Amino acid sequence: MDIRSRVLAVLNRQKPDRVPWMGDLDYWIAGLTSRGELPERYRGEGIFQLHRDLNVGFYLQGYFPYRSNYEGLQVSEERRGDLRLTRVNTPVGGVECVEKYLPESACWAYLERYVKSWRDLPAVRYWYEHTYYEPDYQLAQERCELIGDLGLVLCYLPKSPLMELVALLAGIRAVTYAQADAPEELAETLTVLRSKADEAAAIALASPAECLMIPENLSSEVVGKRLYNQYMHEYEESWAGKIKAAGKYSFIHMDGTLSGLIDEVASAGFTVLEALTPAPVGDLSVEELAQRVGERAVIWGGLPGVYFSDLVSQAEFDRFVISVLETMRSEPRFVLGVADQVPPGTSWERIRRVSELVEQYGEMA
């Protein structure tokens, strides 16, 4: 079976010949690009050939299949060396975000988020109330034509309103203080964010993508059961249901500690729980994840990103991958993936090694 046939078999709860191997190489590719080390043949559409040559299934890099337009406000961006400053000025106040580029991980880190206190929430509400979306399906359409037997075409919905605040706009501390100091302001803001998220999600639902992901970046040590049940579960359950009704596969991106929320998230109706990071990096083993999730969703992940680095020996890497495959080959509800990124600086040989181990040890029982 080819890679696409394997992963579709699992998504439809049928038995493939081997465990599917689908890896997120986004940061690794970004690291190669920033250092000028990505061969020309792998740039642009060459990304598909890169995955083929490494024998890695393609499903990311996903993207939001809509554009944001603004009325009645100004959004500006300024670069100062390795800093990026984004300002949003509205008639009711301005907010600013400061990010720093980290070349070692080929990504941006927040130094300051837009919301410093609940007093910034009116500006955020105005910003989102005056944001309008339009479809941007071109990349998804191109990938539908190019993907072939290599993998899947995936696009993003917005995060749930709470995670839009926690992960992007404010951070958990500012959200916690707002809940204590100005609960009405927080509630009003979440209502506005939900309305706009639904608008954007409806556009994503109509995209050519066969898989749709809510990229929550959810960790149970940051968001616990109370916040999840109060603010997130209904949004996720609603859109997972709409994605299923549209004949598509629904994903949630977890990417954090799992024990405190895995039962709640598994009950939301997603086809796939993606980027599940097992012990010893996460807080549950693959076997424990299988027991906790049961038949409710496909478990996608299993290989912590750090295992691709030089911090882990080749012998330990092989041992760990083989042990994960031993569980995943037992029944068709697992996809071997990275939780959540192959880090910059990883050797080409270690990435290739995964498919070799899948061929050797990943045959379904």
What are the tens digits of pLDDT across the range 196-210? 999 999 999 999 999
- pLDDT at residue 255, as a whole number: 85
Amino acid at 207: S
Distance, CA of 290 to CA of 213 (rounded, Å): 21
* Cβ(113)–Cβ(97) below 8 Å: yes
CATH fold of 3-69+117-361 reads TIM Barrel (3.20.20)
Distance, CA of 156 to CA of 201 (rounded, Å): 8
* Cβ(102)–Cβ(83) below 8 Å: no
- pLDDT at residue 230, as a whole number: 95
Question: What's the average model confidence in pLDDT over 217-239?
Answer: 96
- pLDDT at residue 259, as a whole number: 96
Report how far apart, in Å, the C-alpha atoms of 335 and of each of 15, 20, 53, 137 are: 12, 5, 20, 27
β-sheet with 211-214: strand ranges across:
21-22, 334-339, 298-304, 272-276, 249-253, 211-214, 154-156
DSSP 158-224: PPPHHHIIIIIIS-HHHHHHHHHH-HHHHHHHHHHHHHHHHHHHHHHHTSS-SEEEE-----TTTS-
- pLDDT at residue 302, as a whole number: 97
* Cβ(286)–Cβ(327) below 8 Å: yes
Question: Which DSSP state fits 118?
Answer: G
Q: Place 93 in a pLDDT band, splitting at 50, 70 and 90.
A: very high
Distance, CA of 158 to CA of 214 (rounded, Å): 6
Find tokens 């910034």 and name the residue. Answer: 120
Q: What is the mean pLDDT of the chain?
A: 97
60 pLDDT above the threshold of 90: no
Question: What's the average model confidence in pLDDT over 39-46?
Answer: 96
Question: What's the average model confidence in pLDDT over 165-177?
Answer: 97
- pLDDT at residue 152, as a whole number: 97
Q: Is 41 helix (H, G, I), strand (E, B) or coil?
A: helix
- pLDDT at residue 61, as a whole number: 83
219 pLDDT above the threshold of 90: yes
Q: Which pLDDT tens digit goes with each residue over 269-284? A: 999 999 999 999 999 9
Question: What's the average model confidence in pLDDT over 323-333?
Answer: 97
- pLDDT at residue 62, as a whole number: 86
Q: Place 131 in a pLDDT band, splitting at 50, 70 and 90.
A: very high
Question: What's the average model confidence in pLDDT over 119-145?
Answer: 97
Question: What's the average model confidence in pLDDT over 234-240?
Answer: 98
Q: Which pLDDT tens digit goes with each residue over 182-195? A: 999 999 999 999 99
Q: Which pLDDT tens digit goes with each residue over 294-311? A: 999 999 999 999 999 999
Nearest of 38, 214, 217, 197 to residue 129 by alpha carbon: 197
Q: Which pLDDT tens digit goes with each residue over 9-25? A: 999 999 999 999 999 99
> For residue 215, how many other CB atoms are within 10 A of its CB?
20
